[in-house]
Structure 1
Amino acid sequence: MNSIDAAAFLRLLQLVSPALPVGAYSYSEGLETLVQSNRLPDAVTLEHWLTQELHYGAIRLETAVLTRIYECASTGDLTRLSYWNQWLSAFRETEELRQQSWQMGRSLLRLLQGLGSRESGVGNEEQRNGLGEWVETCGETCHFVTAFGLATVYWQIDLPAATLGYLHSWASNLVNAGVRLIPLGQTQGQQVLLNLYPSLAQTATSALNLKDDEWWSCNWGWTISSMNHETLYSRLFRS
């Protein structure tokens, strides 16, 4: 690994780290509803649910959109960038999921702007100007996957690594939610995440090659659980 590759790899690790201050840890994306309704009582059912989401759910299409966002940012196509960000708003099936995505996206953009200052030493003047145009294009309704795609272009992370990193970040957050909710032991949680690796790799590869006429998903169970989350008697995670 040369110095350029090492720098990009370290930036990817920072981008997918649980310490990234975007608030991902405060959301369960409907997982809390499923646990309280006893649909996810153990590690086996949690792993099965997440595997099905990776193969058939919305996260598969989110990752495909990431590849489009990456291309738009790389080529400076602000019109298509705006289109895909608006497409994500239409794609969200519940207000809770939409608000989560907007909040995390805004947080990541603000972070990128802070890290992109002249004093930080990240990015040159041209890159900082490009970041400003992206922020202006997406505004307050920038989705997290949009901001993630912009961040990977800004930090010069290659697309295959970015897609896999995005999926790993999603899975890690929900496994950690399962550890707290079910609850699971830390070792059990890490085993679930390890068992998801083949599905993560398969979904990342699929997203890179997904054609426009192959865009479909089936995640109504996840959607209903998200819609019912705000009506739970008690909640650990944010609505």
Structure 2
Amino acid sequence: MRADPSNLPALLQLASAALPVGAFSHSLGLEAALEARVVFDAASAEQWIADYLALAWAEGEAPLWRAQYAAWTELDEQAIATLNAQLIAMRETAELRMESEQTGRSLALWLQALPQLHTLTDAHRAVLGSLHPPAYASVHACAAVVLGLADERDALYAMGWSLAENLTTAAVKLVPLGQIAGQAILRRLANHLPAWVEETLARTPAQACNFTPMLGILSAHHETQYTRLFRS
């Protein structure tokens, strides 16, 4: 089942780089990877971002997002709380956890401030308010449900695209790269996005796995990096 075309504005809004969640202030380990010379040019930056999307997102966070999408659809408060705790716990470092919590809180504030959103009921608001702290993926799944994105595949595309765009923008600033080179990277990442989404759809929540030791090590290094542009 595909989303109603009338919901395309909601899909685009949820995927937009203009969404005021503060994602622009996080590079998710990329800045430390550059200092360690794991990333040093356009090709290595693209590989780093692709690995993050394939391993940390498609195999780890996104399967739990799917479970949250189902839980928000049923408004299963216990499942939402349990999955939210799991999404927070799977963040290996203080900075990666901070990123999820900060963007989760910001997305919740944005969602609750939207006008004429009658599908965001008092019950939804109460459950959102009970998440301390809210993981970004938990709130994103709620947003997808109440914005009327009836096909979880479409919402996953929105989430994957926004991650790819944010990380590519960080690479343009950090490597540094030209804007055209950045857009070329983003286009190639977009070509892989359907396969990453299908990988997510093929996994159960119990199969979620974010075995990314290099990401954890470099994220921890970033906490004491001498100079940095990004919070994580």
Which of 155, 164, 168 in structure 2 is aligned with 1:171?
Answer: 164
| 1:1-239 equivalences in 2 (<5 Å) | 5-115=4-114, 120-124=115-119, 127-138=120-131, 140-157=132-149, 158-239=151-232
d(CA) in 2 for partners of 1:137, 1:73: 14
- 1:89-144 superposed Cα distances (whole Å, 9 cap, x missing partner): 211100111111111101111111111xxxx22225xx322321321332x30011
d(CA) in 2 for partners of 1:213, 1:94: 22
- Say which SS state the counterpart of residue 4 (structure 2) adopts: helix
Q: Give the AA of the match of 2:190.
A: Y
Contact (CA 8 Å) 1:29, 1:226: kept in 2 or not? yes
Q: Give the AA of the match of 2:118.
A: G
- 1:179-236 superposed Cα distances (whole Å, 9 cap, x missing partner): 0000001111111111112322111111122024533333111111110112111111
Q: Give the AA of the match of 1:121.
A: Q
Q: Report the CA distance between 1:170 and its aligned residue.
A: 0.7
**Residues paired across the two proteins, number:** 230
Q: Report the CA distance between 1:7 and its aligned residue.
A: 3.4
User: Structure 1 residues 232, 102: CA separation in 2 closer, same or farther (over 3 Å shift)?
Assistant: same
User: Structure 1 residues 58, 223: CA separation in 2 closer, same or farther (over 3 Å shift)?
Assistant: farther
Contact (CA 8 Å) 1:113, 1:131: kept in 2 or not? no
Q: Give the AA of the match of 2:97.
A: R
d(CA) in 1 for partners of 2:230, 2:206: 36
RMSD of aligned Cα (Å): 1.8
Q: Give the AA of the match of 1:216.
A: C
- 1:71-106 superposed Cα distances (whole Å, 9 cap, x missing partner): 000011110010000011211100111111111101
Contact (CA 8 Å) 1:93, 1:223: kept in 2 or not? yes
List 4+ stretches of structure 1 deviating above 6 A.
none
Q: Report the CA distance between 1:33 and its aligned residue.
A: 0.7
User: Structure 1 residues 121, 55: CA separation in 2 closer, same or farther (over 3 Å shift)?
Assistant: closer
- Where does structure 2 lack aligned partners over 5 or more consecutive residues? none
- 1:155-190 superposed Cα distances (whole Å, 9 cap, x missing partner): 011211001111111111000000000000111111
The share of aligned pairs that are identical, in percent, is 33
d(CA) in 2 for partners of 1:59, 1:228: 24
